[in-house]
Structure 1
């Protein structure tokens, strides 16, 4: 029984000791490959756990922003992975001097085929440390608008108001113009144009518009809302209701709808007329007789 187990063990060892290939003067056996992958899996697992501990345990007490903590943890993990892989290669007996050609080829690959990936990785590091955007910001880049929910080394995830996740390459935030609605704070001012008839008293209109703004819970009391008499339009007096909000930074359309509903109701109640486009046509008198010809012959 024991002899059979011993024989099987020796057969497996001989099988794993068969050379598969060679790197320089180093023979690569099946055992070398298995041992390398085993150590690599352990290395990735340990560095992943270490990154989470650094981000959510060690640096959490320092009150550093989550984006910076994630960047720090990720960079530390990559450094440890690089050093660890070198140690693993030496442990399994691979001569690193023979990898010089491979490293040169990899450098050429990065310069050509991996150029975009490298660009996004560098851009991700810039974003995480320079912080033009951070997790929780309301931003617009190109035609994309939404809340930043995740910043990784290669890309940034944005959630739109329709709950759609949009993955944007980090290089877009470096090369394009980015509108950050909450870069300093989450207070924003919104403008709502309102037209009324020429017959209306501007002071009454101003009073009712301010009442509508003050009655809405989503409008901030400080800074106070105000009303500007914007201009004399072609068919109306044009006012501009300006309000500050924090609650509706992600949903300005909802606040716009609420205010316009309330404005219509307030104006209807107090007899304020909302005009429609109109045009006056003046006919000039003439002494030239008008001749009307019948088509019937």
Structure 2
């Protein structure tokens, strides 16, 4: 078999993918597959359903099969931290990883690009956004919310208000991230919007097939930037009402695009462009 044979080329093509359980809902294969084709890269990105009990064995096997890294989604984002050899500071702070790099020395490098993707989406969509202009309000206290909180505080937000249906989770975030975080009871979540200049829905409420987000927006200022991590539908009822009130809004699809770019660059050696064509591919 020669080096130029088709089989040899396939063997040497870098492999990446996404692991989760379930995995059929993930749009990452469409996105990375588009980028591979766009930049004529001889690589492959594969969705892989992995049961929790098979996670450790799978991570040990993938590098031997030619994988250079994987994205990680529910329910493995927390568990992979205990299996990684190197964990970035931001992944440790958030308590979860969404991007793994299998290094040539055999070590697994774990990172979290969700916070990066969140901020990059805001700055790309609203270039004049200023994080220290006023308080931020975050609805939700799950894994996605932790990434949002970490990135907003790191960007210079002086006061971050948070509310979650289960208050103890908000309290945990305050304990870990410090005095700039102020906890509101779920029944008073609407009150935390007063004078807030950045408002984020970091829950799945309002997603297609989920319960609606029922928080009164009476206190919402028309000067606020409002964003929703949900992108199905692209314009959620929460964003639609914010638009009626005169707010600038940012949908959640851009966060998906921007959080994916660093991993693609590490695995395949090309920084992908985030543009209208990329969005169109995911919306088809």
Judge same fold: TM > 0.5, yes or no.
Answer: no
Which structure is richer in relative contact order (CA contacts within 8 A, separation 6 or more)?
2
> What is the TM-score normalised by the length of structure 2?
0.25
> What is the TM-score normalised by the length of structure 1?
0.24
Q: Which one has a bigger Cα radius of gyration?
A: 1
Which structure: greater helix fraction? 1
